[in-house]
Amino acid sequence: MKTITESIKAELNKLHVKPVNMAVSTGTQWFGDSGELLRSVSPVDGELIAQVYQASVTDYEQAVQQAQRAFEAWRLVPAPKRGEIVRQVGEALRAQKPHLGRLVSYEMGKSLQEGLGEVQEMIDVADFAVGLSRQLYGLSMHSERVQHRMFEQWHPLGAVGIISAFNFPVAVWSWNAFVAWVCGDVCLWKPSEKTPLTAVACQKIVQGVFEANQVPEGVSCLVQGDYSVGEMIARDGRIPLVSATGSTRMDKKVGAAVGARLGRALLELGGNNAVIVSEHANMDIALTSAVFGAVGTAGQRCTTTRRLIVHESILEVFKKKLAHAYSQLKIGSPLDETNHMGPLIDAEAVAVYRQALEEAVNQGAETVVEGGVLRGEGYESGCYVKPAVFQVENHCEIVQTETFAPILYIIPYSTIGEAIALQNDVPQGLSSSIVTNHLQESEAFLSCAGSDCGIANVNIGTSGAEIGGAFGGEKETGGGRESGSDAWKAYMRRQTNTVNYGDELPLAQGIKFDI
């Protein structure tokens, strides 16, 4: 019987990905073998998957210069033709979905279903971007001057820096890259140093499509490295837009560096997402949304449900139902589809999880479902943990902090106004939800005096956002918007145009020159 590692090697062969340890790819060119080695270790079984070099300053400079040259040609390609190329990227991903999805699951640790779902999300974004390539609309306005036409149009920005996180190692890159490409931009992608191999696989897939279509070298650049490479991108004035996904602490530094040079930053930072469970809730919907939202991806989603705000009249009943549901969860290898939850990403994440458990107890939390680190057969990597549930006050420091792990806090409330205030009373503002069959409660939650998050749902959970809507949040979540709706405008520059087709030049405010 094949081991998991041998099976993954077979998947890499199907993906036509030989272990590429070079730090940088600008398309067909791979280079950079002078920096430190980054190790990709699977949290599934603790096995070393691959090693890649970190980009040096020289490697990075070469990539940026190539991207700049590519932009001069790529921006002149008509947007619908750019969209056709992205369509082919989507088709290539469809063909490789089973293999890439399995690699995502193994390198990151999310369930196989979620790994496959992440690749499907990339395919969906490609489809969205194809349609978008024919809808980069401007506006026509009436001029106050006779025989003048006034309008606005959108032009490509240039090179877009994409800094992505380990929890969605490929999907978030596609949200940015596919939309940026149809807008006429080129991209420099710094993936998480914890998931470099999935990035190599994606670059290889794109490379095949781009070669077939004679896309200029440098439209898609991959630059491997740790935070220092991200710092180079953030400080580089040649990169007008930096899209960064990660912790609030890390991306505050990115935002400050980009802002200091008056660049644009599209930030997707932390979440501290809550589901309000009303006394008028459908209990089955509430329970399903709470459990999936809290333990999906082992609590390592920015949209993970971290707080459950439950009406006091149903609090004890709901706690018992939740504890029973948690007792049914199966934890183990994410490549086994019978398991509900896989591992945390690495030992550092486990240490943060354990510290949060201790702090919750120290801050007076009541244990509803006990957590802990799993040991023994099947858990050799040391990254498997049990999801935990506490009842606690919303103002506690541990509740106000995002812990990237499957820890859920239950908070009781008495009125809908109190529930909304509790939901809003955290520094983060990404996703939120209410489960209720009461019309007035749902409308209050969605009103301007309701949820202060970028995403607000009724009778569904906090996770599972669709690509058609703009994704992002407020407050310490960063304010950025990616993927759907009109998020494409972040990747372009707006230009207002006025054309005088008459024989005279009327001046503003009636000013006249005798010439």
d(CA 286, CA 437): 11
Buried b / exposed e across 158-182, counting CB within 10 Å, b at 16+?
A: bbbbbbbbbbbbbbbbbbbbbbbbb
d(CA 412, CA 415): 10
Which one of the listed residues 11, 114, 193, 268 is annotated catalytic? 268
How is residue 474 written in tokens?
A: 């407020």
d(CA 412, CA 326): 20
- The reply to whether 441 belongs to the active site is no
Which one of the listed residues 202, 302, 383, 453 is annotated catalytic? 302
Angle, helices 79-108 vs 196-212, to 10°: value is: 150
Kindly report the CA angle at 506 between 500 and 510, in degrees rounded to 5? 150
d(CA 181, CA 85): 9
Give the number of other CB atoms < 10 A from CB of residue 97.
Answer: 18
Task: For tokens 């200091």, name the residue.
Answer: 260
- Helix H, strand E, coil C: the string for 11-74 is HHHHCCCCCCCCCEECCCCEECCCCCEEEEECCCCCCEEEEEECCCHHHHHHHHHHHHHHHHHH
Kindly report the CA angle at 478 between 136 and 289, in degrees rounded to 5? 90
- The reply to whether 107 belongs to the active site is no
d(CA 482, CA 129): 12
d(CA 198, CA 186): 20
Residue type, 404: F
Q: 20 with 10: CB under 8 angstroms?
A: no
d(CA 224, CA 199): 9
CA end-to-end distance (rounded Å), the chain = 91
Instruction: Give Dmax (Cα) for the chain.
Output: 93
Q: DSSP string of 326-345?
A: HHT--BS-TTSTT-SB---S
Q: 265 with 242: CB under 8 angstroms?
A: yes
Task: For tokens 């997402």, name the residue.
Answer: 273
Task: For tokens 């090697």, name the residue.
Answer: 9
Q: 54 with 224: CB under 8 angstroms?
A: yes
Task: For tokens 């991806």, name the residue.
Answer: 297
β-sheet bridge partners, residue 33: none
d(CA 168, CA 246): 10
Catalytic residue IDs: 268, 302
